[in-house]
Chains A and B, each alone.
Chain A
Amino acid sequence: MKKLVSIILCLLLVFGVCGTTLADETKIVFCVNIQPQLPLEFWQSIADRYMAANPDVKVEIIGNPSSNVTLPEYEKTLLSTNQFPDVMVMQNPADFVPSGALLPFEDGELDYLVDPEVGKIGGKQYVANYKKQIIGVFYNKDMFAANGLEVPDTWDKLVAASDKLLEAGIQPFSLGLKDGWPQGQLANMFAGTDLLAKDLHWGAKRNANEVKFNNPDLVKAMQKYQLICTKYSGDNITGITYTQMLEQFFNGKAAMLPIGSWVNAEVAKGLQDFEVGWFPIPGDENANVVSVFVNEGLSIGAETKYPEICKDFIHFFFTDKELYGEFLKSEQLFSTTKETVEYEMIPLRKEMEEIIAPMLAVEGFESMTGDDAFLPGLKDYFTNKLTQNIAIGADIEAELNAFDQEWEIANEALEDAQ
């Protein structure tokens, strides 16, 4: 018996010492967004470079375990189980800020960014925005030329071009609802052109309940979106995935692909046998508005034991030019840092930069940031319910009324929580 007690005591002593050693180690957990273009190895390379430069710090990488679980869902699970990371890729800060989960940056701490003010919530910045992405229409230049079409610069011309393609037996647009989110990009484009271009901070007014989703501008935008979905996107939009959308376009089955600039990564592979062009979705009179996503970046958990190390880690990410350049190259992204970061750009990416230079930039409707951001849950409602229902022919005003009702519920929940 004495022998058994001695063994147990020794084991406890050993584990106690190990526990103390582990507890004393400076370790930060970094939650990342694992995607085909940004695999785990890429994020691990960031951690390795930082640890090489800071031998006293250990960076552990965690990521959403499956493509069926979105990053915000995974982070919410971590938060509710007291495992919230120290540093994380953040896509929906508006969902987390009300619960006090994020640590705000102090003024001046993000001075290395071009616009450290973008996306402030209640006057505080919670995200170091690391990329800009634009949404618009990729098109098959060869197909357009063969059918005598020019890049449409008004809505009527876009409809006329689509009709001409249909007459020629070509599917004008490649769109699919099966994955839930890609169709939302087209809806975002029209909402940006017909609604946000008139009022850049319309989102804040909606949050203050001064305006409604069911308004003439958004109704018009959704009518255009519905027409593209129901008339010009093939017969089986509900069964098409994002991957199939890409296949339809790059295999030459459809002439246009309304999606984000991240598709440049596919263009860069050069597997298509035609030249790819790009244009922003046109408005009624002209095409001078571009929707820009600036909603994603790096955030720090409010409960972290090492806030300064986390800030240093984020600073390292942006200022290690090779690392940040590699990140930007992955999806041919637009930089957010003051210092220019060079990377190998494809010609289309440079062309896009020239096209949008004189245009009015509005935020991506579903992912507006800061005080303009949708209330918690409404982004998912927009992509999973509203844009899908409208795409299959639902009554637009009824759907927008339902969206307004959803806003009431989300607002009530938010008020209760505060």
Chain B
Amino acid sequence: MKHNKLHDVLLVAPGYLVYTVFMIIPLGMCFFYSFTNWDGISKNYKMIGFRNFERLFQDASFFNALKVTLIITVITVLIYNVLGVFLAVILNRKNRVCAFTKSAIFVPTVLSSVVVAFIWSYIMQTDGGIINTVLGAFGIPPVDFYDTPTHTIIMISVIISWNGLGLFLVIYVATLNTIPQELMEAAEVDGANGVQRFFKITLPLMMPGITINSVLSIAGGLKQYDHVKVITGGGPGGATQTITLLSVEKAFSYNRRGYSSAIVLVLFVLIVIVSVIQISITKKREVKY
């Protein structure tokens, strides 16, 4: 069949069009507005150079949001990847218990994050929540899951992980299944024990999956919005606010769309830098066979 360039262009055009309209143009507009004082609703605005960025780096609420975002990212990345790899290795067996457990872990993934956040809000409610009601039945005093911002952030991170772990587990199980069984058998014949086989064969050969999951989990953690919005709304006093929550608040509550765009741009750069570093590290560790 003769190669037709027009045919190729027509095939990829819809994808490029959607990507351009919903990604490239908004990103370009965000970049532009970050150098303006646009309030988001006026027809007029002024170019103000780097003033939004100067203000951003003097804004305590930005650094608090950055801290909260990084804590959530670190906790969720660790749970997704360490627990994900561990569970994948444990559950990568063909029996009913493993199949059921994998399905049970995957179920929350198909639920909307907002629904999950609402469910857990009710479960962890201080006054009348399911957990405290059960504890109360045994005469145990109620637990205040919202007593300090740190506890609340940890609680939210665990909820996010519960919601998303299934997807990461599936990717790890799929990666495990690509490892040739002959390698394991050869190592076993050579006298390698289970721990040695895991660290010397399984883990290196799972690197492609780890690369994908790390990028997804880091980017997901840095972009976290919905769970926090539903569970705490960023409160009390902005103590659990993430960067995305802060940018939406500045844009729609404070009428500072230019400033909000600057926040989003910094987040974008942060995600790019972290992802590039992370990919370069994990790619080097990938093993070809």
User: Does B44 lie within 8 Å of A417, measured CB to CB?
Assistant: yes
Residue of A nearest to B146 (CB): A239
Q: Which residues of A contact B238 (CB under 8 A)?
A: 384-385, 388
Given contacts A236-B127, A238-B152, A248-B127, list 6 more A-B pairs with CB under 8 A: A99-B41, A384-B234, A384-B238, A388-B235, A392-B236, A416-B46
In this complex, the member of B46, B230, B236 whose beta carbon has the largest number of chain A beta carbons within 10 angstroms is B236
C-alpha spacing A377/B252, complex, angstroms: 9
1/0 per residue, CB under 8 A from A, across B18-61: the answer is 00000000000000000001011111111010000001000001
Contact flags (1/0) for A165-203 with B, using CB distance below 8 Å? 000000000000111100000000000000000000000
Query: A93 to chain B: closest CB distance in Å?
Result: 13
Within 8 A of B (CB), among A99-126: 99-101
Q: Count B-side interface residues using an 8 Å CB cutoff.
A: 38
List 13 A-B residue pairs with CB atoms under 8 Å apart, sorted by A's residue number.
Answer: A96-B41, A178-B146, A236-B144, A238-B147, A239-B125, A239-B127, A239-B144, A239-B146, A244-B128, A381-B254, A384-B238, A388-B235, A416-B46
Q: Name the residue of chain B whose CB is nearest to the CB of A392.
A: B236
Evaluate contact between B39 and A413: CB separation under 8 angstroms: yes
Across the interface, do A76 and B41 meet the contact criterion of CB distance under 8 Å? yes
The interface residues of chain A lying within 8 Å CB-to-CB of B249 are 380, 384
CB-CB under 8 A from A389, the residues of chain B are: 236-237
Q: How far is the CA of A239 from the CA of B55 in the complex (A)?
A: 32
Instruction: Tell me, yes or no, whether B175 is within 8 Å of chain A by CB.
Output: no
Q: State whether A76 and B44 are in contact (beta carbons under 8 Å apart), knowing that A178-B235, A244-B127, A391-B236 are contacts in the complex.
A: no
In the complex, B220 has a CB within 8 A of chain A:
no
A146–B77 alpha-carbon span in the complex (Å) = 56
Write out the residue numbers on chain B whose beta carbons fall within 8 Å of the beta carbon of A99.
Answer: 39, 41-43
A345 within 8 A of B: no
Q: Which residues of A contact B (CB under 8 A)?
A: 68, 70, 72-73, 76-77, 79-80, 95-96, 98-101, 177-180, 235-236, 238-241, 244, 247-248, 376-377, 380-381, 384-386, 388-389, 391-392, 394, 409-410, 413, 416-417
CB-based contact B40/A76 at 8 Å: yes
Number of A-B contacts (CB under 8 A): 111
Task: Identify the 10 closest CB pairs spanning chains A and B, nearest first.
Answer: A377-B254, A239-B146, A239-B126, A389-B237, A388-B237, A99-B42, A380-B253, A388-B236, A236-B126, A416-B37
The distance from the CB of B213 to the nearest CB of chain A, in whole angstroms, is: 30
| Chain A residues within 8 Å of B142, by CB | 236
Listed in ascending order, the chain B residues whose CB lies under 8 Å from chain A are: 37, 39-46, 48, 55, 61, 125-128, 142, 144-147, 152, 229-230, 232-238, 249, 252-257
B253 and A180 form a contact (CB under 8 A): no
Q: How far in angstroms is the closest Cβ of chain A from B155?
A: 11
Residues of A within 8 A of B230 (CB): 68
**Out of B44, B229, B252, which one reaches A77, CB within 8 Å?**
B252
A382 to B252, CA, bound (A): 15
Instruction: Out of B126, B128, B229, name the residue touching A68 (CB < 8 Å).
Output: B229
CB distance from B237 to the nearest CB of A (A): 4
Taking CB atoms, residues of chain A closer than 8 Å to B39 are: 98-99, 376, 413, 417
Which chain A residue has the least Cβ–Cβ distance from B46? A416
